[in-house]
C-alpha cells in the first residue's frame, strides 16, 4: 500500500455511521439539519462574496453539485449563519445581515412545449410580487421581473441576490427542435436582460448550467460576466477531489472494502477507476463524480449510477445530425476555445460531449493553447457503450451482450480469428438501412466497440511510412489491424508488411499479431481475414 493511502487507512474511524449520504439532496438547509455528509465548499462562497465582480457563471455536467452550491450561496446571503457552523465560511469576517434572494430553478420542467417556461416563471414571480407588495399585472415577464428586483431592493434596503439554477434547461432540452429553441432563447434573453438594466439594484447574480452557448447567447449583452467554468481557482468548486474523498468518506470506503472483501487500497482504486478522472481547468485537479461516489458508498457496490440519471437521446440525435466522426472525437487534441461555447446552428461535437460530461480535459498544452480530451472513467465509458453509441451508430440493442464479452476474451487470450468472427457478429447488428457503404461508419463502429469495452485501442497510428488503421493492445498481445473496404484482406496484409507497421513494436515483449481485414458492402460482412504472428 502506498504511503498516501496508508495514512488514511490506519486512522481510527471517528465518524458516526448514522450520518447519511445526501444522494440527490440539493437543499443546503435540509442537508445540514439532517446531519448528512457535506464536503465543505464554502471557501468559494468567501471568494465570491468578497470579489468586486457582480455577475458570475458556472457550467458543469449534471449531478455534479451545482444546485447544492447554489443553495448554500442562497442561505449564506439570507444570513442563516447557524447552518454554517463548523464550516470555513463561519470563520471569516462577514456581517451575516440578510439580503433579499431571488432564486430561479429552471430544472423543474422538460420544456417540450413553448408555453412551459411562462408557467414556471409566472409561479415564481407571483410569489415574489406578493412578498414585496406588488400587484400582479398582465405584463410581459421581463417587465414583471424588473419590477420585482426594484421592489425587493427598495423594501429591504439591501441590493438583490439573484440565483439561477440550470439557466439553460429549456435550451438543452430543445437542441434538436430549432423552433422551440429559438422561442426559449428569445424568452430567456428578455428576462435575463434585467441583470444589466437593473444593475443599480443588484448585489450578485450567479447562474449555473451544463452548457455555454456562444453565438446564440442568452446574456450576450452582459459583457462583464465572470465565467469561472474553466477558472483554475474554481476548478473543484463542484465535485470531490481525492483528498476530500479520503478526508470525508474514509469510514465509508472502509465499510465498502469490508463488504466486498477487498483492502482499503483496492477500494480506493475501484472508486478512482470508476468515478474519478474529470478535470475542468487547464491546471485543475482530478475530480470524482459526487453523485456516483455517494451512491457507491451508500449501497457499497460499484455500478453505473450517473448514467442512470440522464437520457443521452438528445445528445445522440445532435451528434447524428452533425454527422460526427466519433472515432476522431473521443480521444483527440483541440483548441481550448472549442470548449468555450456552443452554436446550435453549427453544433461542435467536442463541446457537446464535453459539456454533457462524456469527455473531459486530460492534458493542456500552453504552447498551442490546446487540450487533450478523453473519456473520464469506466462508468462514463460504459455509459457511452450502453446508451450513446448504440443510438448513434444504430446498433440494435438486441445484439447479444455475450458477443462483447467474447471479444474481450478473444483479445486477452490471443484468438485473433475468433475475434474477427465475433466482430462480424457485432457488425451484423447494424440495421441494413444504415449506409455501410460509408467507410467512416464502419471504422466508427469497430473503433467505438473496442475502445469502450475497455481495450487499449489506438486509431490512425502514424509511422514513418504511413498510418495504421487500428492497434489493439492487451497484457500479452499487440494486434496491428489494417481494414479495407470492398477490396481484399490480401491487399490489407500487403500494406502492413510493405510499410512495416509492426516495426515500431519489435522491441515489445508481447506477441505481435498482424491482421488484414476486408469488409464487403454487398454481403455486409467481414471476409475471411489474413492473420500472421510476427516471430
Tens-place pLDDT, residues 212-227: 766 556 766 677 789 9
**What pLDDT digit, counting tens, does each position of 77-100 carry?**
999 999 999 999 999 999 999 999
Q: Are strands 226-227 and 55-59 parallel, antiparallel or unpaired?
A: parallel
Model pLDDT, residue 326: 66
The rounded radius of gyration (Å) of the Cα atoms in the chain is 26
In this structure, the answer to whether residues 385 and 531 fall within a common structural domain is no
- Distance from C-alpha of 453 to C-alpha of 197, rounded to nearest angstrom: 52
Q: CA-to-CA distance for 265 and 7, rounded, in angstroms?
A: 11
Of 174, 204, 229, the position where a domain reaches its end is 229
Distance (Å, whole) CA 190 – CA 121: 12
Q: How does pLDDT run across 363-405, given as a tens digit for each residue?
A: 999 998 889 888 899 898 888 777 666 655 554 444 445 677 8
Answer yes or no: is pLDDT of 305 > 90.
yes
Residues 197 and 51 both lie in one domain: yes
pLDDT of 11 above 90: no
| 378 and 425 assigned to the same domain | no
Domain containing 59 — which CATH number? 3.40.50
Average pLDDT score over residue span 306-320: 72
CA angle at 324 for the pair 427 and 303, rounded to the nearest 5°: 65
CB count within 10 Å of CB 472 equals 23
| Domain, as residue range, for 430 | 408-535
- CA gap 357, 311 in Å, rounded: 13
Please name every residue paired with 101 in a beta bridge, in sequence order, or none if there are none: 161
* Residue with the larger pLDDT of the pair 152 and 386: 152
Q: How confident is the model at residue 442 (pLDDT cuts 50, 70, 90)?
A: confident
Question: Where is average pLDDT lowest: 288-292, 342-346, 492-496?
Answer: 342-346
Asked if residue 523 has pLDDT above 50, the reply is yes
Lowest-confidence range among 124-138, 149-163, 367-381, 424-438? 424-438
165, 166, 167, 173 alpha-carbon torsion, rounded to 10° = -150
**Of 179, 208, 229, which one is at a domain's C-terminal end?**
229
Could you identify the residue written with the cell 420585482?
148
What are 224-268's pLDDT values in tens digits? 789 999 999 999 999 999 999 999 999 999 999 999 999 999 999
Rounded to an integer, the average pLDDT of 470-486 is: 91
Predicted pLDDT of residue 458: 77
Please indicate, yes or no, whether residues 194 and 49 belong to a single structural domain of this protein: yes
Give the mean pLDDT of 413-440.
74
Least reliable range by pLDDT among 101-115, 249-263, 411-425, 429-443:
429-443
Q: Is residue 22 part of a domain?
A: no
Interacting residues of 256 by C-beta distance below 8 A, sequence separation 6+: 267, 271, 296, 297, 300
According to DSSP, the β-strands at 477-485 and 466-473 are antiparallel
Is residue 45 predicted with pLDDT exceeding 70? yes
Per DSSP (E only), the strands in 78-201 are 101-105, 160-165
Indicate whether 446 and 360 sit together in one domain. no
Q: Could you count the other beta carbons within 10 Å of the beta carbon of residue 363?
A: 12
Provide the pLDDT for residue 294: 95
Nearest to 235 by CA among 377, 371, 361: 361
How distant, in Å, are the alpha carbons of 100, 132, 401 from that of 156?
7, 9, 62
Residues in Cβ contact with 25 at an 8 Å cutoff, skipping those fewer than 6 apart: 31, 34, 36, 68
pLDDT of residue 309: 81
| C-beta atoms surrounding 259 within 10 Å | 12
Q: Of residues 7 and 172, which shows the higher confidence score?
A: 172
Which CATH number goes with the domain that contains 461?
Answer: 3.40.1350
**472 located within any domain:** yes
Span of 295-299, 462-466, 487-491 with lowest mean pLDDT: 462-466
How high does pLDDT run on average in the chain? 86
pTM above 0.95, yes or no: no
pLDDT single digits (tens) 427-438: 776 654 444 455
Give the total number of structural domains in the chain.
Answer: 3
Q: Considering 182, 212, 229, which residue would you say is the last residue of a domain?
A: 229
Confirm if 514 and 480 have CB atoms less than 8 A apart.
Answer: yes
Neighbours of 220 (CB within 10 A): 14
- Grid coordinates belonging to 56: 458570475
Q: Average pLDDT, stretch 425-450?
A: 66
Amino acid at each position: 500500500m502506498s504511503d498516501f493511502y496508508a495514512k488514511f487507512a490506519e486512522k481510527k474511524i471517528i465518524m458516526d455511521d448514522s450520518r447519511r449520504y445526501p444522494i440527490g439532496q440539493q437543499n443546503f438547509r435540509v442537508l445540514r439539519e439532517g446531519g448528512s455528509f457535506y464536503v465543505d465548499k464554502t471557501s468559494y462562497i468567501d471568494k465570491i462574496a468578497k470579489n468586486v465582480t457582480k455577475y458570475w457563471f458556472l457550467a458543469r455536467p449534471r449531478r455534479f453539485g451545482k444546485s447544492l452550491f447554489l443553495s448554500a450561496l442562497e442561505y449564506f446571503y439570507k444570513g442563516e449563519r447557524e447552518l454554517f457552523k463548523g464550516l470555513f465560511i463561519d470563520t471569516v469576517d462577514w456581517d451575516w445581515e440578510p439580503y433579499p434572494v431571488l432564486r430561479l430553478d429552471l430544472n423543474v420542467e422538460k420544456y417540450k412545449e413553448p408555453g412551459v417556461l411562462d408557467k414556471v416563471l409566472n409561479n415564481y414571480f407571483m410569489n415574489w410580487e406578493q412578498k414585496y407588495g406588488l400587484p400582479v399585472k398582465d405584463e410581459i415577464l421581463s417587465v414583471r421581473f424588473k419590477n420585482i428586483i426594484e421592489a425587493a431592493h427598495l423594501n429591504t434596503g439591501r441590493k438583490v441576490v439573484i440565483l439561477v439554477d440550470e439557466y439553460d434547461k429549456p435550451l438543452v432540452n430543445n437542441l434538436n427542435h430549432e423552433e422551440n429553441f429559438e422561442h426559449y432563447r428569445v424568452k430567456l434573453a428578455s428576462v435575463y436582460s434585467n441583470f444589466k438594466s437593473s444593475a443599480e439594484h443588484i448585489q450578485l447574480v450567479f447562474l449555473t448550467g451544463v452548457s455555454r452557448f456562444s453565438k446564440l447567447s442568452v446574456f450576450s449583452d452582459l459583457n462583464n460576466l465572470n465565467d469561472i467554468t474553466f477558472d483554475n481557482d474554481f476548478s473543484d468548486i463542484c465535485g470531490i477531489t481525492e483528498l476530500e474523498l479520503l478526508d470525508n468518506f474514509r469510514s465509508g470506503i472502509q465499510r465498502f472494502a469490508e463488504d466486498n472483501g477487498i483492502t482499503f487500497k483496492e477500494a480506493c482504486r475501484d472508486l478512482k477507476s470508476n468515478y474519478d478522472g474529470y478535470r475542468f481547468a487547464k491546471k485543475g485537479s482530478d475530480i470524482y463524480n459526487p453523485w456516483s461516489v455517494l451512491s457507491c458508498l451508500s449501497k457499497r457496490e460499484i455500478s453505473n449510477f450517473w448514467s442512470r440519471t440522464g437520457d443521452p437521446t438528445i445528445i445522440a440525435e445532435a451528434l447524428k445530425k452533425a454527422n460526427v466522426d466519433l472515432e476522431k472525437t473521443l480521444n483527440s487534441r483541440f483548441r481550448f476555445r472549442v470548449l468555450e461555447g456552443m452554436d446550435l446552428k453549427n453544433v461542435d461535437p467536442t463541446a457537446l460531449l464535453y459539456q454533457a460530461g462524456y469527455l473531459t480535459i486530460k492534458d493542456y498544452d500552453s504552447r498551442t493553447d490546446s487540450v487533450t480530451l478523453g473519456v473520464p472513467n469506466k462508468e462514463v465509458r460504459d455509459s457511452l457503450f450502453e446508451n450513446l453509441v448504440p443510438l448513434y451508430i444504430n446498433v440494435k440493442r438486441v445484439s447479444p451482450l455475450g458477443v462483447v464479452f467474447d471479444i474481450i476474451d478473444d483479445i486477452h487470450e490471443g484468438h485473433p480469428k475468433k475475434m474477427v468472427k465475433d466482430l462480424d457478429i457485432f457488425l451484423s447488428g447494424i440495421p441494413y438501412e444504415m449506409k455501410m457503404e460509408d467507410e467512416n461508419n464502419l471504422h466508427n463502429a469497430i473503433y467505438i466497440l473496442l475502445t469502450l469495452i475497455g481495450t487499449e485501442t489506438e486509431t490512425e497510428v502514424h509511422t514513418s511510412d504511413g498510418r495504421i488503421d487500428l492497434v489493439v493492445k492487451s497484457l500479452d498481445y499487440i494486434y496491428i489491424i489494417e481494414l479495407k473496404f470492398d477490396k481484399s484482406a490480401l491487399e490489407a496484409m500487403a500494406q502492413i508488411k510493405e510499410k512495416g507497421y509492426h516495426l515500431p513494436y519489435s522491441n515489445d515483449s508481447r506477441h505481435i499479431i498482424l491482421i488484414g481485414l476486408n469488409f464487403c458492402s454487398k454481403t455486409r460482412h467481414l471476409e475471411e481475414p489474413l492473420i500472421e504472428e510476427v516471430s
